[in-house]
């Protein structure tokens, strides 16, 4: 699954190309993944202009000037490929379709714009989806009502962060960081890296973490997410950035998949344990339980 930095990288890439494009045609052969009635797609997408590409948690939102929004989730093997006469980029699952001739057998949806450029949604395994809905209704979706605040939002404060975590004070910190209803978009890599940065053992109960360490965790989490976005995402196995290049964040990781190697801060050997049901990497010296 992509994590927040990967989807943010996709959003940033598409934002360079899609705004102001007018949709001329929509083709799809994917009633399960794109279940809207054809008549609605004709009425609210065809002829409309794209106004903005947004992201909430790991979901992409393409707003149209018809007051409708395309809500897109890439899931495991989804990818978006924008193609114009002289420019192209692919974003998402790094199959050959990112660079090959399109459409191909993984193509589920094609948006054709008035200037003849096109946006392809390809998905080999068909877990991804597209939904068309009124823009004002997006935030009422069950998912959006439940998902926690964006950790990188300008108005997200250390105090809010601590308050969100305290909702699950009796749970281990790693499990709470991974809980999308507490904070949006934090996955396994960024949980491990931010806990190492703040010198917190992943199994520590939230209620046992002193306030100054929660503030350190807030700072550390934002820093690793920002660095990853800057590096084009982590590309943990499947994801490449909006220009089809592999992201390089994992090169900068301090603990993730570095078990057996020395901690860059103290030289102690990094270990791997299980926490929150996930493989978890930590320095046993810097992150004492």
Residues that bind Zn ion (CB under 5 A): 263, 265-266, 268, 283, 285-286
Tokens of 166: 């305290």
Please state the closest distance from residue 196 (CB atom) to Zn ion, in A: 8
H/E stretch holding 225 reads helix 211-230
Contact 51, 19 (CB under 8 A): yes
- Tell me the C-alpha distance between 12 and 142, whole Å: 25
Please give the C-alpha separations between residue 1 and each of 14, 93, 236, in angstroms, as whole numbers. Answer: 19, 9, 8
Q: In angstroms, what is the minimal distance from the CB of 288 to Zn ion? A: 10
Q: State the minimum distance, in angstroms, from the CB of residue 137 to Zn ion.
A: 48
Q: Which is nearer to Zn ion, 53 or 283 (CB)?
A: 283
Q: Look at the block and give the residue holding tokens 């002289």.
A: 86
Closer residue to Zn ion (CB): 167 or 265: 265
User: Please, which residue, 17 or 196, has the CB nearer to Zn ion?
Assistant: 196
H helix or E strand, kind and range, residue 80: strand 78-83
Question: Considering beta carbons, is residue 173 or 286 the nearer one to Zn ion?
Answer: 286
Would you call 6 a catalytic residue per the annotation?
Answer: no
Catalytic residue among 55, 58, 164, 168: 58
Instruction: Confirm whether 31 is a catalytic residue.
Output: no
Q: Is 2 a catalytic residue?
A: yes
Question: What length is written for the chain?
Answer: 289
Q: Is 54 a catalytic residue?
A: no
Q: Annotated active-site positions, please?
A: 2-3, 58, 278
């Amino acid at each position: 699954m992509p994590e927040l930095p990967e989807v943010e990288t996709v959003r940033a890439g598409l934002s360079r190309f899609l705004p102001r494009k007018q949709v001329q045609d929509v083709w799809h052969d994917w009633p399960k993944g794109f279940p809207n009635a054809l008549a609605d797609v004709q009425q609210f997408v065809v002829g409309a202009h794209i106004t903005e590409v947004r992201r909430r948690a790991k979901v992409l939102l393409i707003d149209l000037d018809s007051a409708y929004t395309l809500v897109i989730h890439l899931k495991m093997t989804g990818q978006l490929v924008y193609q114009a006469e002289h420019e192209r980029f692919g974003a998402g699952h790094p199959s050959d379709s990112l660079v090959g001739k399109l459409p191909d057998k993984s193509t589920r949806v094609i948006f054709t714009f008035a200037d003849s450029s096109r946006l392809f949604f390809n998905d080999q395994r068909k877990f991804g989806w597209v939904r068309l809905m009124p823009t004002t209704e997006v935030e009422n979706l069950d998912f959006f009502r439940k998902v926690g605040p964006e950790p990188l939002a300008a108005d997200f404060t250390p105090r809010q962060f601590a308050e969100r975590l305290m909702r699950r004070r009796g749970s281990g910190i790693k499990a709470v960081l991974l809980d999308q209803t507490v904070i949006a978009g934090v996955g396994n890599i960024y949980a491990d890296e931010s806990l190492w940065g703040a010198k917190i053992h992943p199994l520590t109960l939230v209620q046992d973490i002193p306030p100054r360490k929660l503030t350190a965790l807030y700072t550390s989490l934002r820093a690793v997410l920002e660095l990853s976005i800057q590096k084009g995402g982590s590309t943990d196995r499947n994801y490449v950035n909006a220009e089809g290049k592999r992201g390089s964040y994992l090169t900068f990781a301090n603990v993730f998949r570095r078990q057996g190697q020395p901690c860059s801060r103290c030289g102690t050997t990094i270990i791997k344990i299980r926490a929150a049901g996930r493989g978890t990497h930590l320095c046993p010296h810097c992150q004492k339980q």
